[in-house]
Amino acid sequence: MSEFVLQQNEAALQQQKPKEMIRRLVWKICIATLILMAIGSATRVMNAGLACPDWPLCYGELVPAKQMNLQVFLEWFHRLDAALIGVSAIALFGLSWWHRRFLPRWLPWASTFALFLIVFQGILGGLTVTELLRFDIVTAHLGTALLFFSTLLIIGTALTPYQGTGTVGKLPWVGLTAAVLVYLQSLLGALVGSRWALHQCLGGSQLCTVMYSHIAGLVPPTVATLAMVFICWRTPALHPALRRLANIAGGLLTLQILLGFATFKLHLQVEPLTVSHQAIGAALLGTLVAFTVLALRDWATSRDITVLSNDC
């Protein structure tokens, strides 16, 4: 009997190995993607978007040593990081389908969607160069990156061990609303950046509508995020992970508002502030996505408990 139990435990451990391997890979790609978006922001604010005049090579070379300067390095390193993420996405796709017997049914399809996004992102990256930084393509480039980042976070968070307390109430829907609003606000910010709307408005009173739309657009995601934080504070017996994520979201929101105000007042003249503003925005979106996934898992736990009690 004991030998049978040992065999069962060993089989269970064998089934957990692919899941754990993929979870670690996903979190590594998440970190690389966040870094990639920060480098992309630095590339834009340093006017390095066309530092490499061709694509996918740079000055016809894999490593343009003769032309290398800060601007060329930023654009070249941005492409290098993107290529590494692309290879990792292919690995995630292959591993998910190869080990699909031991994985949740949704995981291979989610990895397929992530691969589609990174391929589409690569196409947009090439078009940003060949179309000379056309603002709609640049905006779509960041929007797709944020969607890819969110997809990875959903996968990673869904694979993370978690046992809910069943006390979340309406928090999953509040978190989801906040995440969607932050994503839309990020797209507005990308539009402001890609059209240089702040410079245009302050310098010649042009594109002020675009800039002020981004400023006014701050209100809905701020209200939704603060509502989520407040409800978490008021919810007894909430899982510590959810409470921690809510507090992190509140802190990131405060920092993001301060960075946005400083960026506006300094007219985008301090590049690290502008880069940090976009990076913190992406981190806030990621925190809200992770919170929403865990809250939905908690809500599913409470639903299962309710169904079980009704059956009894």
Q: Domain spans of the chain?
A: 1-161, 163-307
**CA atoms of 179 and 186, how far apart (whole Å):** 10
11-25, 85-99, 150-164, 265-279: which range is least confident on average? 11-25
pLDDT average, residue stretch 129-136: 88
Q: How long, in residues, is the chain?
A: 312
pLDDT average, residue stretch 9-25: 76
Model confidence pLDDT, tens digit, residues 279-305? 999 999 999 999 999 999 999 876 654
Q: pTM (2 decimals)?
A: 0.91
**87 touches 122 (CB < 8 A):** no
What is the share, in percent, of the chain residues with pLDDT greater than 90?
A: 64
Residue from 112, 114, 122 nearest 36 by CA: 122
pLDDT of 11 higher than 50: no
CATH code of the region 163-307: 1.20.120
